[in-house]
Amino acid sequence: MLVQPHLFIPGPTNIPEPVRMAMNLPMEDMRSPEFPKFTLPLFEDLKKVFKMKDGRVFIFPSSGTGAWESAIENTLTVGDKVLMSSFGQFSHLWVDMANRMGLKVILCDEEWGTGVPLDKYADVLAKDTDHEIKAVFATHNETATGVTSDIAGVRKVMDAANHPALLMVDGVSSVASLDMQMGAWGVDCCVSGSQKGFMLPTGLGILAVSDKALEANKAQQPRMNRCFFSFEDMIKTNDLGFFPYTPATQLLRGLRTSLDMIAEEGLENIFARHHRMAEGVRKAVDAWGLKLCAKEPKWHSDTVSAIYVPEDIDSAEVVKTAYYRYNVSLGVGLTKVAGKVFRIGHLGALDEVMIGGALFGVEMALRDCGVDIRLGSGTGAAAQYFSETATKSANSRDDSNLKAA
């Protein structure tokens, strides 16, 4: 094959060439006296992506799962009550981790295709007058089902109950792609990873932490056992521009370029671009006569779409056909929706033509697997939408250049 596979899974995402080249460098001395000149601005620029002014950001050599674990073990204690919700594979896994780490989980087990149940959270928190619940967990974007939840709404519910619990958010497939207002929404721990909106390989678990969470860390009694993911060890060395162990220096160099690219495009423009790309995909799904896993428009994700196939079709075969026949990588359905949905990741570095190529491959794979769709229906619907909205796109070049040409 002369061309690289066309990657449209919801992470790892495509790596822009400037980011890839920034990582293509010889090994460097991570204890050099020059190293802090590089790392200290990196920490501060990461805070801008999370829209936080106070607190701090930790960078662990791990996946987002490591940052999940760090958030729990540095702020909570075995036996603490926490409020959580499960509505997809990744929110389920965070619940599983909390149970394994000895937390007492009050669980809202929701239908897949929905998100954080604000009404149930409000009821549970209002009844917790003794404030036994120490943390409220919310998955911002459920990657398995293509569902985005209302984190600002969770904060409103907590404030209405005058509840002092920590607010913990999984932003792995949202941060740097969807709006995350950590400061305005009162988020205390927000988890992300390098392989999605930050447009890097997997390998950096990124955890943004509020001042309130840092205070909880200091007051934690008894402490949960921890070592690799310790806030204390990180703070001691990060303040000097170093790490308590060997950092992933090449990934950090790539992160520097990624943050520069994010700043150049502008966060609001990035959010608008992701919404527009997602709308193009949704137009195609409608034209095919298929349905999203997300039950209502309020749950629609702008970073990943999970799409149901007809009941007599195996979605895994659609994914295999796209991969082997058309060199297109799509996301498979996980656990409860295995064989029922396939997923198109539309986050990170991508534009209209890339989305069009993904939809082109999907159409052919669906048709080959026996789905009754008209070739060109979805791609045409997306193309019409992109054409109609092109001049309004922040990613488009100035039309004056077209006129000049």
Cα distance between residue 303 and residue 121, in whole Å: 25
Quick one: the chain helix, strand, coil %, rounded to 5? 45, 15, 40
Give pLDDT, residue 4. Answer: 86
Structure confidence at residue 3 (pLDDT): 82
Partnered with residue 178 across adjacent β-strands are 175
Dihedral angle computed from the Cα positions of residues 167, 170, 173 and 175, in that order, rounded to the nearest 10 degrees: 40
CATH topology of domain 17-263: Aspartate Aminotransferase; domain 2 (3.40.640)
CATH (one of 2.60.40.10, 3.30.429.10, 3.10.310.10, 3.90.1150.10) for 266-397: 3.90.1150.10
Residue 107, SS3 per DSSP: strand
Residue numbers of the chain with a pLDDT score lower than 70: 1-2, 392-405
Q: Give Cβ neighbours of residue 296 (< 8 Å, ≥ 6 apart).
A: 114
Block residue for tokens 């656990």: 335
* Integer Cα distance of 343 and 376 in angstroms: 19
DSSP label at 397? P
Place of tokens 């075969």: 317
The answer, as to whether pTM is greater than 0.85, is: yes
Q: What is the pLDDT of residues 147-190, one digit of tens each?
A: 999 999 999 999 999 999 999 999 999 999 999 999 999 999 99
pLDDT of residue 399: 56
**CB-based burial of residue 22 (10 Å sphere; 0-12 exposed, 13-18 middle, 19+ buried)?**
buried
Q: Are 194 and 200 in contact (CB under 8 A)?
A: yes
- The CA distance from 165 to 223, in Å, is 18
Question: What's the one-letter identity of residue 400?
Answer: S
Tokens of 381: 């619907």
* Helices and strands, number each (H, E), in the chain: 14, 14
pLDDT at 342: 98
Place of tokens 């060439």: 17
DSSP state of 396: S
Compute the distance between CA of residue 308 and CA of residue 333 in angstroms, rounded to an integer: 9
pLDDT at position 154, please? 98
Q: What one-character-per-residue DSSP string does 135-146 give?
A: EEEEESEETTTT
- pLDDT score, position 401: 54
In the block, residue with structure tokens 């929404």:
185
Sketch the domain layout of the chain as residue ranges: 17-263, 266-397
- pLDDT score, position 210: 98
Residue 334 is predicted with a pLDDT of: 97
81: CB partners within 8 A, 6+ apart = 103, 104, 105, 106, 132, 133, 134
Q: What is the DSSP string of 312-381?
A: TS-HHHHHHHHHHHH-EEEEEP-GGGTTTEEEEE--SS--HHHHHHHHHHHHHHHHHTT----TTHHHHH
